Amino acid sequence: MMPSVKEVLLSSEDIKEKVREIGERITEDYRGQRLLLVGILRGAVVFLSDLMRHLQLPCEIDFMEVSSYGADTTSSGVVRILKDLQEDITGRHVLIVEDIIDTGLTLSYLRRSLLARKPASLEICALLSKPSRRKIDLDVKYVGFEVPDEFVVGYGIDFAGAYRNLSDIHALKPEGGRQPSLPTFLSED
């Protein structure tokens, strides 16, 4: 029996179908152009690697890693760039690829910071979005699934660094209001 803390929200089949669909839309929208996918480390790695194989376009990839500042400054949406792009994006068509958008503050900041580098275009593609959590208006061109306000893991998305390798996306159910401990969540009895 699966532990109570682990519930499949989106199966690998659901995800596969959706990723293919988004890939086709992007292929249509960027026809005749060269695209630079910017994956946000580390959660977007699995999504990006599947998505890029559905793009019938000349396409390159690059990565950024960001982290939020402490709790007192998160409301300002200021993020620290831990790893910057290697490519110069001036004049390029750039598509940010993200795993999940929660408050939207991280991507809103990132978007502004990348716009200052004068790309030809800049759009956002997120596999998941939690619209009920949004604190800022953010224009997201491609969204895979809207999910409820629950903590999710799998398909690249982690809890304390774990569960990125799960093929399905699961909701982590808190036990008695607490986050489940890692070994409890992993055990199957």
Q: CB under 6 A: which stretch of 20-28, 54-62, 100-108, 175-183 binds ligand IMP? A: 100-108
Using the minimum distance from each CB to ligand IMP, give the nearer residue, 102 or 168.
Answer: 102
- In whole angstroms, what is the distance from residue 136 CA to residue 152 CA? 21
CA 150 to each of CA 42, 52, 179: distance values in angstroms, whole numbers, following the listed order: 20, 28, 12
Distance of alpha carbon 136 from alpha carbon 185, whole angstroms:
33
Answer for which of 23, 39, 43, 156 binds Mg ion (CB under 5 A) is 43
Which of residues 23, 43, 119, 156 is near ligand IMP by CB under 6 A? 43
- Alpha helices (H) along the chain: 12-29, 45-51, 105-115, 182-186
- Residue 157 as a binder of ligand IMP (CB under 6 A): the answer is yes
Q: Determine which one of 14, 29, 62, 102 is catalytic.
A: 102
For the bound state, the minimum distance from the C-beta of residue 43 to ligand IMP, rounded and expressed in Å, comes to 5
What 3-state DSSP class applies to 16? helix
Q: Return residues touching Mg ion (CB under 5 A).
A: 43
So which residues are the catalytic ones?
Answer: 102
